[in-house]
């Protein structure tokens, strides 16, 4: 019988509360009461910073006490209702990191240099692609926060590690190199550094629980070449030797590429393809940069 009475009180209290919820809450407490032959129910709703709190008081005179712990206490029930937090309009993140491998593709989508540049063969397994997103922001598209327009600033490194012992010659009208017969290089690569501006659409299936969200992003990345160099490391008479020579080596100053990312939670993969040749027109082989790898620190 006691359980039935408690249930009946809850049902009546809920019915009393519905008009208050439907009409919206104000900062002032709202109170509705019901008084029958054997019981009295009073419903008090108070607006809070995160939602509203509703207190159901029942009994002969509605004067039951609270011990401060909330929940069902004798004839008193305290219920807290939280407003659903709306996703932030602009989300900002520092230090977004991608790392993988890159190479150069010819017009037939093959990893093969043209015959007049055949000695420039790239060692894919040692050619690292690294992108550091200094800052990225995502503007919410829609109220759910699942879709965002992402943009930012970053730096991308392309390391092209040569399979052969060659030396690039700087400040030439065309990409020029010479074979080196008397040195066996431990490291021999040319490195480009581009300032980047990514612009992508980013989708997360569950933005409130990113660790359990399916993620897809696609867009473009603009780049400006601000530094490039050739680095070589070798041994001579038991001593370690290094050489680092800065030059543009006929690389294109401006470029754009297509970017796609996909994954689940914090595990995401990326792929990039630059449709314009890596070298300036008529100054080097017509090869396009391609890269793929892992997004270590995603947006």
Q: List, in sequence order, the alpha helices (H) in the chain.
A: 2-22
Tokens of 240: 């370690």
Measured from the Cβ of residue 257, the count of other Cβ atoms closer than 10 Å reads: 22
- Decide which of 82, 107, 124 is a domain's last residue: 82
Q: Looking at the structure, tell me whether residues 37 and 146 fall in a common domain.
A: no
The arithmetic mean of pLDDT across residues 276-290, rounded, is: 97
pLDDT at 134 over 90: yes
CA distance 165 to 187: 9
Q: Looking at the structure, tell me whether residues 166 and 284 fall in a common domain.
A: yes
Q: Looking at the structure, tell me whether residues 162 and 233 fall in a common domain.
A: yes
Q: Looking at the structure, tell me whether residues 68 and 196 fall in a common domain.
A: no
Q: Looking at the structure, tell me whether residues 105 and 49 fall in a common domain.
A: no
Q: Are 234 and 193 in contact (CB under 8 A)?
A: no
Residue range(s) defining the domain that contains residue 73: 2-82
Q: Are 71 and 51 in contact (CB under 8 A)?
A: no
Tally the domains of the chain.
2
pLDDT at 288 over 90: yes
pLDDT at site 86: 79
Q: Looking at the structure, tell me whether residues 175 and 194 fall in a common domain.
A: yes
Closest CA relative to residue 277, chosen from 123, 103, 106? 106
Q: Round the average pLDDT of the chain to a whole number and report it.
A: 83
Q: Looking at the structure, tell me whether residues 53 and 102 fall in a common domain.
A: no
Tokens of 25: 């809450």
The pLDDT tens digits for 91-110 are: 999 999 999 999 999 999 99
pLDDT at site 41: 56
Q: Looking at the structure, tell me whether residues 134 and 206 fall in a common domain.
A: yes
pLDDT at site 135: 96
Q: Looking at the structure, tell me whether residues 198 and 146 fall in a common domain.
A: yes
Q: Looking at the structure, tell me whether residues 117 and 262 fall in a common domain.
A: yes
The pLDDT tens digits for 32-80 are: 555 555 555 565 565 555 555 555 555 554 444 444 444 444 455 555 5
- Decide which of 35, 56, 82 is a domain's last residue: 82
pLDDT at site 299: 86
């Amino acid at each position: 019988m006691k359980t039935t009475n408690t249930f009946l009180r809850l049902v009546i209290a809920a019915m009393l509360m519905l008009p208050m919820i439907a009409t919206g809450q104000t900062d002032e407490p709202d109170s509705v009461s019901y008084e029958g032959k054997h019981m009295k129910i009073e419903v008090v709703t108070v607006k809070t910073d995160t939602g509203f709190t509703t207190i159901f008081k029942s009994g002969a005179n509605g004067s039951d006490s609270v011990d401060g712990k909330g929940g069902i206490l004798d004839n008193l029930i305290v219920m807290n209702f939280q407003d659903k937090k709306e996703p932030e309009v602009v989300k900002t993140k520092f230090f977004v990191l991608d790392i993988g491998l890159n190479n150069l593709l010819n017009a037939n989508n093959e990893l093969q240099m043209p015959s007049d540049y055949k000695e420039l063969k790239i060692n894919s397994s040692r050619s690292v692609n690294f992108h550091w997103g200094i800052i990225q922001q995502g503007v919410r598209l829609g109220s759910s926060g699942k879709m965002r327009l992402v943009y930012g600033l970053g730096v991308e490194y392309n390391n092209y590690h040569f399979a052969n012992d060659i030396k690039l010659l700087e400040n030439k009208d065309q990409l020029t190199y010479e074979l080196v017969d008397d040195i066996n290089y431990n490291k021999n690569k040319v490195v480009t550094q581009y300032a980047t501006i990514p612009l992508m659409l980013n989708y997360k299936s569950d933005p409130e629980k990113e660790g359990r969200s399916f993620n897809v992003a696609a867009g473009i990345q603009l780049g400006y070449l601000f530094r490039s160099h050739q680095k070589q490391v070798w041994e001579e008479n038991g001593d370690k030797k290094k050489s680092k020579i800065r030059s543009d080596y006929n690389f294109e100053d401006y470029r754009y590429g297509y970017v796609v990312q996909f994954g689940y939670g914090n595990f995401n993969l990326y792929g990039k393809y630059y449709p314009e040749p890596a070298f300036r027109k008529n100054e080097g082989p017509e090869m396009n940069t391609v890269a793929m790898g892992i997004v270590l620190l995603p947006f």
